[in-house]
Amino acid sequence: MERRTFIQCLSGGMLLAAGLPLQARGRRPLRFGVVTDLHYAEREMVGSRFYSHSLQKLRAAVEVFNRSSLDFVIELGDLKDSRPDKDAVAALRFLDDVESELQRFHGKVYHVLGNHDMDCLSKEEFLQHTANAGKARGRSYYTFAVHGVQFVVLDANFNKDRSPYCRGNFNWKKAYIPDEEIEWLRRELRQSRRPVIVCCHQLLDSFSAVRHDVCVGNAAEVVQALEESGRVLAVLQGHHHSGHYSQRNGIHYWTMKAMIENDFPTHNSFAIISVEPGGDIVIEGFADCESRILKHEV
């Protein structure tokens, strides 16, 4: 597949408060594949959203991933969509179809929950029809470690009253992370002795110039926990289809462009990310996904 010319965008960062953890020194680069916002459904296109094309786009991405010696693949939410009538049976079929395609990857696969994953399903139904690797299976927020890097996956799909998104009982512009999940996050960050990468569907960098209706409503509290830990290298996000980037206090916030946008094979969006031993994060974008280097400076 033709890929966009690799552009190195050096973005400033600060050294972790206590220096890069020893687990990161001398290890080989960690490499993983990323996709987001497939919105797969068998329905007519709406505007720039080509719902049915996402299956072919994902197939093309997985073919590249399988040739690239990756440690795992993660999708950042909105894996499936639904028909206008919100038929749950059809939505489960769409989910099964796109999950089967994703699981063609020859390795571990992880999921982040997005709002459209619950537009006519419950979280439990979504989790029953998808397969996170290892101990993450069946969980909406969780952590795992690979080659000296800790990954923390968050679930921001809660209403203002902290009730969970379920069968469309939500306004997609209102997303929150409940107190117990934030406390869990703080514990994980305190206990970790590794550099950390956080994954969330909705955006956490509400301090930036991005639209606030795509951000987590209580993002400031979450960001405070990330910054206080001194261990977070980056936050990987979806949801905002055009993509976004910001940086604050040594943490990079990278929002990936959506796969659903525009037709296939002219368009697609996926990436391979490498975490280098020194803490630099190299994003190799394919098709419409731009490449970028998130620089970790000493």
Give domain 10-294's CATH number out of 3.60.21.10, 3.40.190.10, 3.10.580.10, 3.40.718.10: 3.60.21.10
Region of residue 220 (phi > 0: left; psi between -120 and 50: alpha; otherwise: beta) = alpha
Give the predicted TM-score (pTM) of the model.
Answer: 0.92
Give, to the nearest 10 degrees, the angle between helix 54-66 and helix 88-102.
20
C-alpha distances in Å from residue 179, one per residue of 155, 161, 289: 12, 11, 34
Domain edges within the chain: 10-294
Kindly report the average pLDDT of the chain as a whole number. 92
| pLDDT score, position 28 | 81
Q: What is the pLDDT of residues 33-72, one digit of tens each?
A: 999 999 999 999 999 999 999 999 999 999 999 999 999 9
| pLDDT score, position 27 | 65
Banded pLDDT at 166 (limits 50, 70, 90): very high
